[in-house]
Amino acid sequence: MASSSNATHVAVAGDARTGIDAVNSRIQLFESSNMVMISAPLNGNNWLTWSQSVKIVLEGKDKVGFIDGLEIKPAKGFVEYKQWRITDSVVRTWILSTVSKDIVNAILYALSA
């Protein structure tokens, strides 16, 4: 069977591609989805349930590394920095959309997710 020249590539564990293409593919995975499904916003009394729900959503979007520290912020001079910053802003927006208005002000000015 002949291979198609317009095949779509998605970076996965063990992917042979290296460099910025693999990083960008993984960082952009599911990035366009604006809907975050959390049953109850963080209100100060439901931390355990809320945090587990957020973790599940972010794992499903391959973004949990932005909150657990495994997605390391590249230095400003690197090409990957801009994409990291954009994706981190998306994750922060998702998180802000899942907390009560009383808590938003406490976390709004965080420098990263």
**Residue 42 three-state SS:** strand
Q: What is the chain's mean pLDDT, rounded?
A: 78
Provide the whole-model pTM: 0.68
Distances from the Cα of 108 to the Cα of 24, 28, 97, 112, angstroms = 26, 23, 11, 10
Task: Give the pLDDT confidence of 31-67 residue by residue, as tens digits.
Answer: 555 556 788 899 999 999 999 999 999 999 999 999 9
Task: Give the pLDDT confidence of 58-71 residue by residue, as tens digits.
Answer: 999 999 999 999 99
